[in-house]
Amino acid sequence: MEIDFLVTVLLSSLSSAAILLIAAMGLAVVFGLMGVINLAHSEFLMMGAYAALTITKAGVPYLLSIPIAVAITMAIGAVVEILIISRLYGRLFDTMLATWGLSMVLLQLAVLLFGTATPSINLPQFNISIGDYQLAGYPLILIGVAVIMLILIYLLMTKTTYGMQARASIQEPEMAQAIGIESSRVNTFTFALGCGLAGFAGAVLLPIIPATPSMGMAFAVKSFLAVVVAGPVALTGTALTAIGLGGGASITASLLTSVAGEVFFFIITAVLLWRYPMGISAKWRRKL
C-alpha cells in the first residue's frame, strides 16, 4: 500500500473518532457521571446546530455563534433538570420515559419551527492534499477541537472546586449536603453542562452536517454505545472507545465499504459489552 493512502486513512479515521467523541462528551457527563440516561441528547445536539445556524444567518460570525449556542442549550438543559430530572433521580426507567417524551416534543417543535429542509451556513471549504489524495480540511480541525474539549472538561472535573463538588454530589449526596454543598444547584449545572456540550457538538458539526430536526439521531446511538462501553471512567474511557470504535469503523469503511464499517462498529461493541458488561474501565484505578 502507498504511504500516502495509509496517511489519508489514518487522518480520516482520527477525524471520525474526533466527531464521535465530540458528540458523545455530553452523554459522558450526564450518563457517565450522573447516571442519568438522557434520551433527548440528540435533540440538544440538534438545538445547538439550529441555534448556531439562526445566529449566523442573523449576521453574527460563525465562531461567535458557537458559545451563544452553548449558552442557549445550557439554559434549556437547566430548566429541564429543575422541572423534570430533579424529581426523578434514582428512578432510571422513569427518567428514560421522561427524556424520551421530551425528545419527541423537541423534535416536533423543530419541525414546526424550521421545517424539514437542510439549510447550510455555506462556510468556505478547503482541502488538504496528501500525494494523490485529498481530505476535507474542516474534519481534520475537529481532531484538535476534540482534544482541547476533552482536556478542558477533564481539568474542570478534576482541578476545580466545582468538579469536586459535582462528583461528591453524585457519589455521596447526603454527605455532600452535610458539609454544605448545595447538591441540587450543582446537579443542575452538571446536567446543563452535558446539554451545553451536546449543543456545542451540534454547532461545531454544522459546517459538515446540515441542520435537520433528526440530525442528532445519526450520533445518538453510537454516542450512547461508546459511553456504555467506556464504563464508569466516563471521560478517559469515552475517549478510548471513541478512538477504537469510531476510528476502527472508519478504517474498515475505507478499506472495504461503509456498510462493513457500520458492521464493525456494532459487532465490536457487542463483543466488548459481552466481555466487559460493566464497561472496559470497570477495573481501572482512574476515576474520571
To 10 degrees, what angle do helices 161-171 and 183-205 make? Answer: 110
Helix (H/G/I), strand (E/B), else coil: 1: coil
Per-residue pLDDT averaged across 23-36, rounded?
85
pLDDT band at 134 (very low <50, low <70, confident <90, very high): confident
Question: What is the distance between the alpha carbons of residues 236 and 168, in angstroms, rounded to a whole number?
Answer: 19
pLDDT band at 74 (very low <50, low <70, confident <90, very high): very high
Closest CA to 172 of 155, 186, 159, 192: 186
Question: What is the distance between the alpha carbons of residues 25 and 155, in angstroms, rounded to a whole number?
Answer: 14
pLDDT band at 88 (very low <50, low <70, confident <90, very high): confident
Question: What is the distance between the alpha carbons of residues 143 and 288, in angstroms, rounded to a whole number?
Answer: 21
| Helix, strand and coil in the chain, % to nearest 5 | 75, 5, 25
Per-residue pLDDT averaged across 248-268, rounded?
88
Total residue count of the chain as it appears in this document? 288
- Kindly report the three-state secondary structure assignment for every residue of 177-200: HHCCCCHHHHHHHHHHHHHHHHHH
Per-residue pLDDT averaged across 13-31, rounded?
90
Per the rule left: phi > 0, alpha: psi between -120 and 50, beta: everything else, 35 is left
In eight-state DSSP terms, residue 130 is E
pLDDT at 75 over 90: yes
Residue 210 dihedral angles phi and psi, to the nearest 5°: -60, 150
Domain-wise residue ranges, the chain: 3-215
Closest CA to 272 of 254, 245, 247: 245
Question: What is the distance between the alpha carbons of residues 19 and 251, in angstroms, rounded to a whole number?
Answer: 14
The answer to whether the Cα torsion of 229, 234, 236, 239 is positive or negative is positive
Residue pLDDT, tens place only, 200-234: 999 999 888 888 888 888 788 888 888 888 887 77
pLDDT of residue 120: 67
110: which 3 cell numbers?
Answer: 423543530
pLDDT of residue 212: 87
pTM of the entire structure? 0.91
Per-residue pLDDT averaged across 142-166, rounded?
89
Question: What is the distance between the alpha carbons of residues 52 and 46, in angstroms, rounded to a whole number?
Answer: 10
pLDDT of residue 288: 67
pLDDT at 1 over 60: no
pLDDT of residue 204: 94
Mean residue pLDDT of the chain comes to 86
